[in-house]
Amino acid sequence: MDRDALQRPKILLYHDLTARDRITVVQARQRFGAQLDAIAAAGFAFASVGDFLGGGLGSRHAVVTFDDGLRSFAEAAMPELDARGIPVAIFVLSAFAARENAHRLFLGWDEIRALADDGVHVGCHGAYHVPLDQVSPGRMQAEISQSLAAFRRQGLEPTTFAYPFGRYDDGTKQRVREAGFHAAFTVMKGGADDFEIRRRLLTGAETGARLRLTLSDRFFETRDAFRRFVPRRFLRQEQPIAEERWGAGGFGLSDE
């Protein structure tokens, strides 16, 4: 897949539409549904991750993805996507899907398998959401291989991977490729090949000029130029850098 093909379709990335309970599920649904309608009204056709990886999509296609496997995805996003017949991909953290005490925030494996049965593209997001380029090679390998093994125990065979925080390096890409994944997604950086597919970060709240910029063909060029000329201290990080053991405290959960 060439670089141009990776840039033309708009690969959209969402996380928690409720902004961690600062708005209700009903409000999140209404806001997200309105954003989907605005994207369609702007002339975009929604396509699946499979369509994208198969090639042939153009600049007026949009692909919806969600990271983390949060419960708010099923509660706030899926009803709006289903109502419009929009395909979606979800990238799941295997460690939290397996922990019952985490299920107030995260979907469990039974729910994830049901989504896969309903046609949702289920990909791998690692186990504990650690920045893979910031941990030891052994920890990085374990995050990839142990998470993949957990998926397989559930009868799932993920073909795509999303780097936690969008962070990766050449070693990370190589390990993901060697594990048998067909493609990997970042957040904002990358774009050189199908193991660093750039996505456009959205919250569901963007409207007007901000949404139009995010969907524009020049979005990455504009963003990268802005970051070169604006001092870093004035920029809010798009994704925070986690401590090595992100999984527990990062989502407000205990270790066990």
pTM over 0.75: yes
H or E segment and range at residue 91: strand 88-92
Express each pLDDT in 42-77 by its tens digit.
Answer: 999 999 999 999 998 999 999 999 999 999 999 999
AA identity, residue 9: P
**Structure tokens given for 194:** 């199908």
Express each pLDDT in 12-53 by its tens digit.
Answer: 999 999 987 789 999 999 999 999 999 999 999 999 999 999
pLDDT above 60 for 140:
yes
Domains defined along the chain, listed by start? 3-250 (3.20.20.370)
Q: Could you give the count of Cα atoms lying within 13 Å of 176 in the half-sphere of its Cβ?
A: 29
Give the C-alpha separation, 145 to 126, whole Å: 9
pLDDT above 50 for 235:
no
Express each pLDDT in 144-192 by its tens digit.
Answer: 999 999 999 999 999 999 999 999 999 999 999 999 999 999 998 898 9
Closest residue by Cα to residue 196 from 207, 187, 204: 187
Express each pLDDT in 101-130 by its tens digit.
Answer: 899 999 999 999 999 999 999 999 999 999
Report pLDDT for 226.
Answer: 67
Alpha helix (H) residue ranges in the chain: 3-7, 25-41, 49-54, 71-72, 78-84, 94-97, 109-117, 137-153, 170-178, 208-215, 219-229, 247-250
